[in-house]
Amino acid sequence: MALRTICIWPDPALKEIAKPVEQVTEETRALVRDLFDTMYHEKGVGLAATQLAVPQRVLVIDLDPKGEATKDQAYADELADWGFTGPVALINPKFLEADGKIDFEEGCLSVPGVTETVQRKGHVVVEAQNEKGELFKVDAYGLFAVALQHENDHLDGKVFVDYLSKLKRDVIRHKMERLKQDRDGEASESVA
């Protein structure tokens, strides 16, 4: 299990546009494992490589990280309606279709403690490679469609706060800078 540090917005690494993975290798698969490990540790449902300061077009999503669907049939049905079948890694994702609209309250591991409503497409079809380098398609609705767009935005150097007003971004930026100062202070105290 390899946990990595998640970049906190407005870290410049989050503005970097990820490059395509030329060939899926053991290094790519290790990155996928690290993404899942870090995402689960931080209690997220999605994570992109750029959030770990790795500029590669790789993302992971798990809408049921606690396994709630095994205990809650209504939630299992909702996941199925969204097209979600289990944890998924997408390498070099490409959006083939996007339609409809959905307003969804989003949060982000790179903007901890903040949620805001963002409008996204309600349905997307995405083609990507899996950890074996094989092409596959995802037909996603609802939260799954939102998560795919949110994580893919990271690969394009965007964070959900980029969709907000300047005033909201400035307030959130100030909050994140204070959080980073607090974390940096804790880190230097533990070294001393």
Rg (CA), the chain: 17
Taking the C-alpha atoms of residue 50 and residue 47, their distance in angstroms, rounded to an integer, is 9
Taking the C-alpha atoms of residue 117 and residue 146, their distance in angstroms, rounded to an integer, is 11
Q: Where are the alpha helices (DSSP H) in the chain?
A: 26-41, 73-82, 142-155, 166-191
Catalytic residue among 68, 116, 151, 177: 151
- Is 127 labeled as catalytic in the residue annotation? no
For 141, list phi and psi in degrees, rounded to 5: -130, 165
Give me the active site residues, please: 151
